[in-house]
Structure 1
Amino acid sequence: ALLFLGARLMQTPTSARRHEAEAQATVSLLVLLTGLFAGLHLALSGQQTGAAAGALFSASARTLLLLSAGLALTVRQTADDGPIARWRTILLIGAGVLHGAVLQGLFLNPWWGGGAAPAGLPVLNTLMISFLAPALLLAASGARRKPADGWSRGWTITGIAFGFLWLVMVLRHLFTGSAMGSAPIGRAEACAYAILLLLTALVFTGRRIGAATGLSQGLRQAAIPTSWIALAVATIVFGYLASPWWGPDTTPLISMAHLALLLGLYASGAAAAARLRGLPFPLDRAATAVSTLILFALLSLAIRAAFHGTALGDATSGSGLETWVFSALWAVFGLGILMLGAGRRDVVLRWAGLTVLLVTAAKVLVFDLARLEGVIRAGSFLAVGALFLAGALAARRLNRSRSDDPGAEDDPA
């Protein structure tokens, strides 16, 4: 306190002893932080139960003290600050970032580190102190630093990383609860992470994130590789890992509510992937293909669930009606995608629709012919053939109407 008072007395605009005043103010700040750390340790050491007794909470509190002090110095910055005043802000925030990344991000992380599970409600819990609060402090520090420079952009990027880590931890806690450090990743949980990646890539394409620090252009550039990674992860997760029918885990789902959750996540993943179609070529076509693939997987799982309930991975062969329903609805899906692609002149949708129709035709000729009997076999051939004929006529009419329109663009196919 005496050091800080002396610094305030010597700090005048025309004083030649400004550097000495800044040095004393910096030392007083370090002494204050040391005292706060010691008081925090004594206060927490007396707690025998509760989340406050955990090492993760203590580390999070120290990180918040460092970042809060850095934000306070950033708010008090002036144009005539000396080198000590400028560098103490950078070093203080850097120490907070390093402290939080090493302890909360690695060694004391409640998932892959030695930290305890969070206490509180599923979202409103101590994870907000460990990850969300540092993210907000870093974002505020980056926005308040004037003029914006590399340090402010670095703080904003680090704040985004802490915010993303908070979302990951929240999802992990929602699906596993107190066993978040030991439970395996489930099918629905994997879908949630894939959707989070897709939404993160979508957020990076906006113009509002990082606008105060001039970071929005860099984030839009980062949206390209992030989108490729997100689409690749979504393809692997929704196309194989999360499937309770053809995936690695074919154990029955616990209840119909879990089945509805999984199918809802599939639908959300398709919608999130479709939102990336506004990105440059060829990323737009990849997003269209991935969203169509997820919708096709969703349709197949929904049909399977209609006949087998929660035991989608049941090894017993399905009935003839199930086989016919698969062929009919696949043909309807392929026809719909083909017509949509012809109407929008989208080459990816047209090829996707044609692929589904060809797969359905092969299934009818190879599989249905051997499995079905009697009326069901005849009905299968008649229904699927009628759908193929209707699809061909509809696509031909759409193409003809496009060619008759003088203002229509050339077909990219």
Structure 2
Amino acid sequence: MYEIAIIAIIVLFVIVTKQQKRLNRVETELGALRKVTAGGIVPVAGAEVAEAGEQAPASLAQAESEPDAADEVEDAPGPWGKVAAASVTPEDAVSGEPEAKPAQPGTKPGKRDIETALGTRWAVWVGGIALALGGLFLVRYTIEAGIFGPGVRLTMAGLFGLLLAGAGEFVRRTGWRTPVAGAAGAYIPAILTAAGAFTLFGAVYAAHGVYSFIGAGAAFFLLGLIAIATIVAALVHGQALAGIGLLGALATPALVASQAPSAWGLFGYLAVMLAAAGVIAGMRRWHFLMGASFVGTGLWTLVYMAGVTLPDFAVLLVFSAVTLAVLVFVWLSGAAEKPRVDFVAIVPAFFVGATALALFVIPDIAISGGPARAAIIVAMMVAAAVWRPAAQAVLHAAGIVTALAYLQMMPILDLHAELSSGTMILDGMAFAVSRSSIVPVGLVLALLFIGAGLWSARRHLNASPWLAAMWTFWAAAVPLVILLTSWVTFGNIDRDPVHAVVAVLLCAGFMVAAEGLARAEQPPQKGGAAVSCALAGAATAWLLFLHMAFGSGMTTVLLGASAVVPALATRRRAWPALGWLSAAAVVAVLARVAFDPTIVGAEFLSRTPVFNWLLPGYGIPALAFGFAAWQLARTTNGRPRLIMEAGAALFALLAVAMLVRHAMHGGVIDSGAPTLAEQAIYTLLALGAGGILVALDMRSPSPVLRIGSLAAGVVSALFICGQHFLALNPLVTDESTGSIPVFNLLFLAYLLPAVAAFALAWYARGKRPKWYSSMLALMGALLAFAYATLSVRRLFKGEYIAWWSGMEQVETYSYSALWLAMGVALLVAGVRFGSQVLRVASAALIAIAVLKVFLFDMSELEGVLRALSFIGLGAVLIGIGLFYQRLLTSAAVAGRAE
């Protein structure tokens, strides 16, 4: 009994809070009305005025249903009679609660009267709580004192509850109201009725749970009757009372214990309660009541399924049908042609979908035929979404449930299949994935989603394009998921002609559907969202077909070549999705090569240089992407074209890089650290990629291309500094530089990258920031310096040039002469091309040569080599001085001539 008293206090406290909010709104409006009657018209807040205008029909309907209340307002004494009738708030008009009479004109607007609050609101609230607790305590007292027998005591409590409910109805009909501010905040009829309901609940529960005076069936019936009657009474007393009735109705099955509980009895009662709540909520458009009803019955469904080993399938099917029927025919009645979104539908969609998913995935239930029953529930969900466009949440729930149910069947990790026995074993537990049950169910569901989805998409195509797109999406997604699951679980993962044929048929069907939808659009052939979803389904089906019908190598090659098809289709159809399908092929091929860079697997890759699977695996997609970019440039010319151009460049570079690595590692591309030769190839590719991206960006400006070109240059510089100069430098690694005098490792690793860096720096001038060109020019100069210096050392040391092999005097002198000559060459080039970077590099190189001569050659060289070193240095420095004087003189003469 104490528990019931606590529940009563909590619920009545909720009522108090709600009434307090309504009181604040009424007092605000009354303050505005006082100013109107005083002669100063003050407009009400715009949001409240708009709300009142939207709810005007509800207010009129309420006035017609309660003529006594309206008449009393109009006949009220003083100047407030007619005005008060117009001050009914939208919430009062919907809930049926009477409007508040304004306070006396002498009261300041917005200022609360403590005396009025205590005398009208708090007194009523506390009185209602006292009445409810009094009824409960009366039952408890008669139990403890033993004054009367059980029948008399419970009869008295029941009469008291009925008396309270009757008093509430009497007060409502006679209209006892106090014409002061705040009286409407404590709606006496609703509070009295609520107190009576709690008393009746307590009496019936005591009769069953305490005394066993009545059986479980009678108690169940009486508690349900009280709860439903309370919900019905909410039509005239407001939504808060409906909440009390709903709480009691949902608690009734838990309060009544039975030795032989009946699932049909439980869900029959819940069905009646849900239908009654739906009717009341639909009449008043009480979203909270409807949503709470779906939540309560849905929780009871989950509790039932968790409490039994094998649920009664018929009960679950019938109750799922009742839930969807209440949603479709009661709550959403009259919304058949309105493609609006109803958020209340999310609740039944979740719980009905959870029921279907449980029938699919719980092993014991699935083995006993759960998937077939789940398919029936999914079919009912799809039918509900077809009948009521506002029930879009049910459609999404049906699609998600079906997709999840089939995806979880795929074998993963430690799961091993025993297809011969018709079951699959997961961690030692039999799992219901029998081909004889799963495949037919999947076929039926696939056809259901295709038929209902495409028909509904055509139906809503022009009235609601996004709703049509949703239907098209699920019409494509569900069959494809079922096909994928069937292939992975029951088919041959390498090559499966049967599933491949199904994939081709789906691809063709979705293409036909896309054409049909495009022709039905207004204007025709604009390629809206629904058409895009159908094309995406066709592309996915084609992707599955390639994986099912061909081996790894042909799948990659054909997938890359497939990018040409949507690009060519843009010649006849200007659908935006076509270009993006070509771009999607780039992503798909990238995913494949990231998963397996060898294209066909390391064990099947030939060791023959160049002419192996790497050439078509990377080269054909590069050519296809390039052709697709060329075609898109002449039709759609949007972002997809840029993606295709970048994809073509990337795969061309990847083809060269992979072929180089394959050749240098004897046919093995995934073992060993890269050598300097291999790294040189990668650096050249990075520099080339930077140039290609700059060229593409100049043709079609794009932030992606601009940032990508900058990133390629920076990566190249990092490669040069980290790998060429430090980690892989032959001076450090003592790697063989080759036996050929000129075209050797130094030529590949230093001279070619230097030329490429200079070329990119020159090409990027004026097209990229100054620091970018300067950085690349500096890298080129350093690479050229390294090439020349290391070539001199190779001339003296041969194939291996490690630093620890020592240095002879002639070699030492040669470096000085070389650096001076290079400094002069850089100075001439800097002046010739107007490059300050080259002139600065010249000065730095000559400074290094000067320091070497004075600090190193002076102590290491002897005889004529020492003399020649200083003579050469002096001659070069004097020559540089004369060169600059001549240059400055010529500039001054030219300036005077101008």
Q: TM-score band, normalised by the shorter chain?
A: 0.7 to 0.9
Pair 58,317 (structure 1): closer, same or farther in 2 beyond 3 Å:
same
Instruction: Pick the aligned partner of 1:203 from 689, 692, 698.
Output: 692
Match of 1:406, SS state, is helix
* TM-score (structure 1 length as normaliser): 0.75
The separation in 2 between residues aligned to 1:172 and 1:341, in whole angstroms, is 37
Between 327-336 and 162-171, the greater mean CA deviation after superposition: 162-171
Instruction: Pick the aligned partner of 2:782 from 268, 293, 299.
Output: 293
Structure 1 residue 277: Cα displacement: 2.5
Equivalent residue, structure 2, for 1:234: 720
In the alignment, is the contact (CA less than 8 A) between 1:117 and 1:181 conserved in 2?
no
Using the aligned pairs only, state the percent identity.
Answer: 22
Q: Which amino acid aligns with 1:134?
A: P
Q: Mapping of 1:109-148 within 5 angstroms?
A: 109-110=597-598, 115-116=602-603, 118-119=605-606, 122-145=609-632, 146-148=635-637
Between 286-295 and 251-260, the greater mean CA deviation after superposition: 251-260
Q: Which amino acid aligns with 2:550?
A: L
In the alignment, is the contact (CA less than 8 A) between 2:543 and 2:559 conserved in 1?
no
Match of 1:405, SS state, is helix
Structure 1 residue 258: Cα displacement: 8.7
Q: Mapping of 1:72-151 within 5 angstroms?
A: 74-75=569-570, 77-79=572-574, 87=577, 89=578, 93=582, 96-104=585-593, 106-110=594-598, 115-116=602-603, 118-119=605-606, 122-145=609-632, 146-151=635-640
Q: Which string of whole-angstrom CA distances, capped at 9 and with x for unpartnered residues, describes residues 36-95 of structure 1? A: 654435xxxxxxxxxxxxx4x1541462475455456x356424x6xxxx65x5785466
Q: Which amino acid aligns with 1:229?
A: V
Equivalent residue, structure 2, for 1:44: none
Equivalent residue, structure 2, for 1:63: 559
Pair 407,187 (structure 1): closer, same or farther in 2 beyond 3 Å:
farther
Q: Which amino acid aligns with 1:40?
A: F
Equivalent residue, structure 1, for 2:746: 262
The separation in 1 between residues aligned to 2:617 and 2:826, in whole angstroms, is 46
Equivalent residue, structure 1, for 2:889: 400
In the alignment, is the contact (CA less than 8 A) between 1:131 and 1:163 conserved in 2?
yes
The separation in 1 between residues aligned to 2:510 and 2:856, in whole angstroms, is 89
Pair 108,360 (structure 1): closer, same or farther in 2 beyond 3 Å:
same
Equivalent residue, structure 1, for 2:550: 40
Q: Which amino acid aligns with 2:852?
A: K
Pair 149,328 (structure 1): closer, same or farther in 2 beyond 3 Å:
closer
Structure 1 residue 5: Cα displacement: 9.7
Match of 2:744, SS state, is helix
Q: Which string of whole-angstrom CA distances, capped at 9 and with x for unpartnered residues, describes residues 95-138 of structure 1? A: 6444322221x221139x96457437533432233222223333
In the alignment, is the contact (CA less than 8 A) between 1:334 and 1:354 conserved in 2?
yes
Q: Which amino acid aligns with 1:255?
A: S
Structure 1 residue 203: Cα displacement: 2.2
The separation in 1 between residues aligned to 2:514 and 2:755, in whole angstroms, is 61
Instruction: Pick the aligned partner of 2:755 from 262, 266, 271.
Output: 271
The separation in 2 between residues aligned to 1:368 and 1:26, in whole angstroms, is 73
Equivalent residue, structure 2, for 1:46: none
Pair 210,96 (structure 1): closer, same or farther in 2 beyond 3 Å:
farther
Pair 407,182 (structure 1): closer, same or farther in 2 beyond 3 Å:
farther
Between 31-40 and 291-300, the greater mean CA deviation after superposition: 31-40
In the alignment, is the contact (CA less than 8 A) between 2:680 and 2:753 conserved in 1?
yes
- Pair 1:253-2:737 in alignment: yes
In the alignment, is the contact (CA less than 8 A) between 1:6 and 1:21 conserved in 2?
no
- Pair 1:223-2:712 in alignment: no
Q: Which amino acid aligns with 1:243?
A: N
Tell me how many residue pairs correspond in the alignment.
381
The separation in 2 between residues aligned to 1:26 and 1:217, in whole angstroms, is 27
Q: Structure 2 stretches of 5 or more lacking a match?
A: 1-503
In the alignment, is the contact (CA less than 8 A) between 1:66 and 1:96 conserved in 2?
yes
In the alignment, is the contact (CA less than 8 A) between 2:566 and 2:581 conserved in 1?
yes
Pair 397,191 (structure 1): closer, same or farther in 2 beyond 3 Å:
same
Pair 267,239 (structure 1): closer, same or farther in 2 beyond 3 Å:
same
Equivalent residue, structure 1, for 2:367: none
Q: Which amino acid aligns with 1:231?
A: A
Structure 1 residue 269: Cα displacement: 1.3
In the alignment, is the contact (CA less than 8 A) between 1:117 and 1:179 conserved in 2?
no
Pair 351,156 (structure 1): closer, same or farther in 2 beyond 3 Å:
closer
Match of 1:110, SS state, is coil
Structure 1 residue 34: Cα displacement: 5.6
Q: Which string of whole-angstrom CA distances, capped at 9 and with x for unpartnered residues, describes residues 233-262 of structure 1? A: 3344443344312x4x12443533697242
Equivalent residue, structure 2, for 1:244: 730
Structure 1 residue 163: Cα displacement: 2.9
Pair 408,170 (structure 1): closer, same or farther in 2 beyond 3 Å:
farther
Q: Tell me how large the CA RMSD over aligned residues is.
A: 4.1
In the alignment, is the contact (CA less than 8 A) between 1:66 and 1:95 conserved in 2?
no
Ranked by relative contact order (alpha carbons within 8 Å, sequence separation 6 or more), the top structure is 1
Q: Which amino acid aligns with 2:556?
A: S
Match of 2:618, SS state, is helix
- Pair 1:320-2:809 in alignment: yes
In the alignment, is the contact (CA less than 8 A) between 2:830 and 2:839 conserved in 1?
yes
The separation in 2 between residues aligned to 1:283 and 1:120, in whole angstroms, is 40
Structure 1 residue 229: Cα displacement: 3.0
The separation in 1 between residues aligned to 2:706 and 2:683, in whole angstroms, is 20
Match of 1:148, SS state, is coil
Pair 334,149 (structure 1): closer, same or farther in 2 beyond 3 Å:
closer
In the alignment, is the contact (CA less than 8 A) between 1:206 and 1:220 conserved in 2?
no
- Pair 1:153-2:642 in alignment: yes
In the alignment, is the contact (CA less than 8 A) between 2:564 and 2:627 conserved in 1?
no
Pair 68,253 (structure 1): closer, same or farther in 2 beyond 3 Å:
same
Larger radius of gyration: 2
In the alignment, is the contact (CA less than 8 A) between 1:331 and 1:384 conserved in 2?
yes
Equivalent residue, structure 1, for 2:793: 304
Match of 1:122, SS state, is coil
Structure 1 residue 303: Cα displacement: 0.9
The separation in 1 between residues aligned to 2:738 and 2:836, in whole angstroms, is 40
Q: Which amino acid aligns with 1:60?
A: T
Q: Which string of whole-angstrom CA distances, capped at 9 and with x for unpartnered residues, describes residues 367-401 of structure 1? A: 11221222322222222222222222223222322
Pair 375,63 (structure 1): closer, same or farther in 2 beyond 3 Å:
same
Pair 152,347 (structure 1): closer, same or farther in 2 beyond 3 Å:
closer
The separation in 2 between residues aligned to 1:131 and 1:10, in whole angstroms, is 31
Q: Which amino acid aligns with 2:818?
A: L
Match of 1:282, SS state, is helix
In the alignment, is the contact (CA less than 8 A) between 2:618 and 2:651 conserved in 1?
yes
The separation in 2 between residues aligned to 1:182 and 1:162, in whole angstroms, is 21
Equivalent residue, structure 1, for 2:474: none
Match of 2:610, SS state, is coil
The separation in 2 between residues aligned to 1:204 and 1:90, in whole angstroms, is 20
Q: Mapping of 1:366-377 within 5 angstroms?
A: 366-377=855-866
